[in-house]
Amino acid sequence: MTAPLGKDLLGLEHLSAEQINLILDTAEPLREISERAIKKVPTLRGATIVNLFFEASTRTRISFEFAEKRMSADTVNVAVSGSSVSKGETLVDTAKNLEAMKIDMVVMRHGSSGAAKFLAERIESNVINAGDGMHEHPTQGLLDMLTLRQRFGTLAGKKICICGDVLHSRVARSNIWGLTKLGAEVAVCGPRSLLPSAIEEMGVTVFSRIEQAIEWADALNVLRLQLERMQAGYIPSLREYNRVFGVTRERLERAPRDILILHPGPMNRGVEIDSDVADGPHSVILEQVTNGVAVRMAVLYLLAGNSPQLADAAKGAV
């Protein structure tokens, strides 16, 4: 069996456009499995996957778990509270002990940038980064791209603006790497205090006013203000942030074209995005969540070393 993605999925920075397209092309037919009455195929029967979450998660953890179960893998969820990590056990010791119980893959979310790579270099199991600090969240980037690709047909030449707290966002970094590789034009928009100082070096345009971003873009990916990662002083107040940078219905109504609205969640309604936008006709936020399961199925499948042609066959096997 070939392993077209290599051993691990740590980020999109080091994937080629071909590898990213392979994941998206593999995810496309796998979406249908979740529409069935019996949402199960035998593709990963016998594989044991550990979901190791050191930070809170709703969408990513549950989405991975659905993806694993729908492909018939055996799964175990490990949360920090209730595990020996809370007694001071190191990340590597935890993972080595899990490996001693003969696992195949680890899906990990961790608060430290680089934690997924650190682990991947020390264990034999496949490691999938489910978000590491402010570094990358590759499956979120991929599901955002799948959602955009389904709506636009292609990402080449499309104008995507990532809005808000780019500084603290692993989602922004994965989107920028992935979208630029697939030929999209990418911009960021937010207060300078929430943009990384060398952001232009990633090949993006910078807008300082949300009105400019809305005039330019085909789609906005609106980021959550990560208040838990902020010291005081990044923004004057949440109310002020919403007034200056909030994505509101009034602002979108002035757009020269229909703009798709994405948000990785969880949302701060009334801060970075107003409810009538999040729930409005241009929002694809719940499509993103649906696509998340298919993208994670594709990643698990490809890392398991199967050939992409089998994705179609797997779709038909119950």
| Contact characters 132-151, ligand CP, x per CB under 6 A | -----x--x-----------
For ligand CP, the closer CB: 222 or 311: 222
Answer yes or no whether residue 264 interacts with ligand CP by CB under 6 A. yes
Answer yes or no whether residue 154 interacts with ligand CP by CB under 6 A. no
Report which residue type is found at 223.
L
Answer yes or no whether residue 77 interacts with ligand CP by CB under 6 A. no
Answer yes or no whether residue 221 interacts with ligand CP by CB under 6 A. no
Answer yes or no whether residue 57 interacts with ligand CP by CB under 6 A. yes
Residue 109 CB, nearest distance to ligand CP (Å)? 7
* Paired strand residues for 187: 161, 205
Point out which span in 52-60, 94-102, 184-192, 213-221 binds ligand CP (CB under 6 A): 52-60
Extract the tokens encoding 2: 């070939």
Least Cα distance to 41 among 51, 49, 31, 50 occurs for 31
Residue 150 CB, nearest distance to ligand CP (Å)? 18
Q: At what angle do helices 59-70 and 138-152 cross, to 10 degrees?
A: 80
Q: Where are the extended beta strands (E) located within the chain?
A: 48-53, 74-79, 105-110, 126-132, 159-163, 185-189, 205-207, 219-222, 260-262
Q: Which of 265, 270, 280, 308 binds ligand CP (CB under 6 A)?
A: 265
Answer yes or no whether residue 229 interacts with ligand CP by CB under 6 A. no
Cα-only R_g, the chain: 19
Binding-site size, ligand CP (CB under 6 A): 10
Instruction: Classify residue 195 as left (phi > 0), alpha (psi -120 to 50) or beta.
Output: beta
Q: Which residues are at the interface with ligand CP (CB under 6 A)?
A: 57-60, 131, 137, 140, 264-266
